[in-house]
Structure formats: structure tokens, C-alpha cells
Amino acid sequence: MAKITASVFTSHVPAIGAAIDLGKTQEDYWKPLFAGYDFSKQWMKDNKPDVIFLVFNDHATAFSLDMIPTFAIGTAAEYTPADEGFGPRPVPKVQGHPDLASHIAHSVIQQDFDLTIVNKMDVDHGLTVPLSLMCGEKDPVKDSWPCPVIPFAVNVVQYPVPSGQRCFNLGKAIRKAVESYDEDLNVHIWGTGGMSHQLQGARAGLINREWDNAWMDQMIADPAACAATPHIDYVREAGSEGIELVMWLIARGAMSDVPYDATDLEAARAHSVSVKHRFYHVPASNTAVGHLILENN
């Protein structure tokens, strides 16, 4: 049986990718940020998954205004890094896991979540920057990412966007789907994007350190309550692009201490999670960076 053993949460800023690709990680500006991921790179080596289920948002790359799926799961064999307007990042292609991805799509759709199935998609910094942060720099020709990745794109660009509650419930459905897959696979689920940031208008540059940290505290300790955070709170407190944080709740909902049935107190008591790593830093270009690693006990 496949099993989700850990969840990883991280911001996914394009400038972080550029800093890695241009060899700037040890410059004064970037050094404190990358130091926050030293533990994580070692943890990845010590806890190498068989598959990463990576929740991210497409930033007007694979999906234009022609098509805007709320939730899209990649079932392809591979994904090419996208040209976001300044040429593609020099990183390896991402290998998919078509069989597990199709299984998850089947199971999750039958649990009443309408996923869009995607067999061709270039992946932008939303997906490749978390991989670089967690796995370190990779040569696009000689190296590969450590394992297959199932990309899962969430629309947080055009409103209406899904609520935190819906994302949290979707995470539960994904865990159920993974656990019904016959092959023994160690799966990590990553929720990426966030923390507070606003990229537009006169309010550009908004950072709310207190709110970010309080939100992280609650997401760890009481995720069901955190999932009830209304959209307007994210926008008002964490900036217009802070809404990306709803994607963290997909990964959080997939952890074993979240009972599928919220009234099942016995199931809730039977499981717990450990915080293996926590990091917060301001700024990376326009945003606050948050990062967490949780393991199922």
C-alpha cells in the first residue's frame, strides 16, 4: 500500500530560482534564505520519497485565460520547465508518475472533487523552485530530480478561487486515494506558494510577519480551524497573492492526524505529526518566505 509519510511546505518565488541559476545563493541578500533550507536538503537525502505529490499554482504559464481549471492533476510521463518570459530555467525535466497520478485522479473524482486531467503541461517556477530548494542545484543534462513528481495545479489567479476548507477536504481525499494504491510507495505531499505578499498596485510589498506566523502556528496545531479562514482574511492581512496559502491546506489535510470524518475523535487521537523543521524569512524579492516539514508519527 502506498503511504503519505511527510508533508513539505514552502514559498516558491521566481527570484529564488534566478538566484540559484545565476549563482547568487551566497550573496548577502540571499544567504540567510538559503541557509533556512540546509536542514531540508539533508532531510530530503535521509528521507528520499518514491514520489512527490506537488501542489502549486500555475502563474499564467500552462493555463492562459483560454482555460482555467480550479484543480488540475498531471498524469503525463514528463514535464518540461516553462519559458516564463525570460527563457526556461536550466533545470532537469520533471518525470511524472502516470500510473499513481491516474489512480489518484480516479479515486479523488469519485470522492466528488472535479479534477482536470492534464497530459501535456510545461511547469513554471511554482513547481521547479520548491524542487531546487529541497533537492539543491541540478545540472539539466547530467542530473535528474530524485524521484517522480505528480504536479497538482490550483487556480489562485482568477477569482473565484477555491476556499481553504475545500483545499483541506481535498487533501483528505488525496490521502485516501494514495492509501488505496496497491504498490508500496513512500509519498511526500508538498504544499507550495505563500506567505504574505502583494505584487500589485499601491499596496505592493505588503508583508505581515505576525499574521504569517500565527497562521503557521494554527495550521500545525489546529488545521481544521485554520481551514475555516475566509478568503478575505488572506487578502486583507497577507496581501492579494497571500491567497496562495490555501494550497498548504491541501498538503496539511493529507496528513494522518486529520481524520477523514471530523467527528471521528478516536481516529484523531490515534495519530499525530512532528514538526521537523520550521523557517521564516523576509524578504525574498517581494515576499515573505515560510517553510515547514511535517512527518507523520
Helix axes 98-110, 164-179, angle to 10 degrees: 120
Binding mask 256-295 for other proteins (x = CB under 8 A): --------------------------xx-xx-x-------
Asked if residue 27 binds other proteins (CB under 8 A), the reply is no
- Distance CA(277)–CA(273), nearest Å, equals 12
Residue 152: is it exposed, middle or buried by C-beta count within 10 angstroms (0-12/13-18/19+)? buried
Only segment of 71-79, 135-143, 155-163, 272-280 that touches other proteins (CB under 8 A) = 155-163
Reported as type and span, the H/E element at residue 204 is none
Asked if residue 200 binds other proteins (CB under 8 A), the reply is yes
- 12 is a catalytic site residue: no
Closest CA to 198 of 283, 102, 265, 71: 283
Asked if residue 128 binds other proteins (CB under 8 A), the reply is no
Q: Is cis: bond before 49, omega within 30 of 0?
A: no
Asked if residue 65 binds other proteins (CB under 8 A), the reply is yes
Nearer to other proteins, 126 or 171 (CB): 126
Which of 12, 125, 188, 291 is labelled catalytic?
125
CB 238 within 8 A of CB 212: yes
- Distance CA(53)–CA(56), nearest Å, equals 10
Binding mask 158-187 for other proteins (x = CB under 8 A): xxx---------------------------
Only segment of 46-54, 97-105, 194-202, 246-254 that touches other proteins (CB under 8 A) = 194-202
Member of 66, 114, 261, 266 binding other proteins (CB under 8 A): 66
Asked if residue 157 binds other proteins (CB under 8 A), the reply is yes
Asked if residue 235 binds other proteins (CB under 8 A), the reply is yes
CB 173 within 8 A of CB 258: no
Asked if residue 80 binds other proteins (CB under 8 A), the reply is no
- Distance CA(133)–CA(122), nearest Å, equals 19
How many other C-beta atoms lie within 10 A of the C-beta of residue 102? 15
Nearer to other proteins, 87 or 140 (CB): 87
Reported as type and span, the H/E element at residue 65 is none
CB 289 within 8 A of CB 35: no
Member of 21, 78, 179, 237 binding other proteins (CB under 8 A): 237
For residue 235, what are the contacts with CB-CB under 8 A and spacing of at least 6?
242, 243
Q: How far is the CB of 234 from other proteins (least distance, A)?
A: 10
Member of 1, 67, 77, 204 binding other proteins (CB under 8 A): 204
For residue 30, what are the contacts with CB-CB under 8 A and spacing of at least 6?
16, 19, 24, 284
Residue 270: is it exposed, middle or buried by C-beta count within 10 angstroms (0-12/13-18/19+)? exposed
Nearer to other proteins, 85 or 182 (CB): 85
- 106 is a catalytic site residue: no
| Residues from 40 through 59 that contact other proteins (CB under 8 A) | 59
Asked if residue 232 binds other proteins (CB under 8 A), the reply is yes
Asked if residue 224 binds other proteins (CB under 8 A), the reply is no
Which residues are annotated as catalytic? 125, 197
> Which parts of this chain interact with other proteins (CB under 8 A)?
14-15, 59-61, 64-66, 82-87, 157-160, 196, 198-209, 211, 231-232, 235-237, 240-241, 282-283, 285-286, 288
